[in-house]
Amino acid sequence: MALVRLVYVSRATKLFQPSSIKSLLATARRNNQNHQVTGLLCFNQHCFLQCLEGPRDKVNETFHRILSDPRHSHVEIVHFEYIEKREYVQWNMGYLQDNASIRALIQKHSQQEVFNPYELSVTATLGILRDVRDDIYHAMVDASS
């Protein structure tokens, strides 16, 4: 089965408490592990930016479930491609919330002060996702050493 990567943006329809994000991530990670889906989720209390990668049918099934989730709206696909290998192989759903680190990455790639993934170019979007991946990875390595 062909491997694909899909990136979308959306707007939160409600205020997310840390516990709501925790439960969303727990469900995402459980389902994604069962379906060989990997990826990354960025969130700043207003907007989501998510990358899903894996077998094409599983990524589509997952995306259809996500699309009908009332916790967000204005879902827009910003990137879709067939891939040879995964970029987020370590994570069934890595997560980065808004903090100084993500703000610095956004500034670097887009000159934006506030994270608004709807306004980003594809190059900036993919650049942010890759840098976020490296940031989380380094934080994990630092924490375990």
Is 124 one of the binding residues for ligand FAD (CB under 6 A)?
Answer: no
CB of 96 to ligand FAD, least distance (A): 13
63 CB burial (10 A radius; 0-12, 13-18, 19+): middle
Q: Could you tell me which stretch among 21-29, 81-89, 122-130, 131-139 binds ligand FAD (CB under 6 A)?
A: 21-29
* Relative orientation angle of helices 122-144 and 100-110, to the nearest 10 degrees: 150
Q: How many of the chain's residues bind ligand FAD (CB under 6 A)?
A: 19
* Phi, psi (degrees; rounded to nearest 5) at 45: 80, -15
Site string for ligand FAD, 34-73 (x = CB under 6 A): -------x------x-x-x---------x--xx--xxxx-
Among 4, 40, 93, 102, binds ligand FAD (CB under 6 A): 93
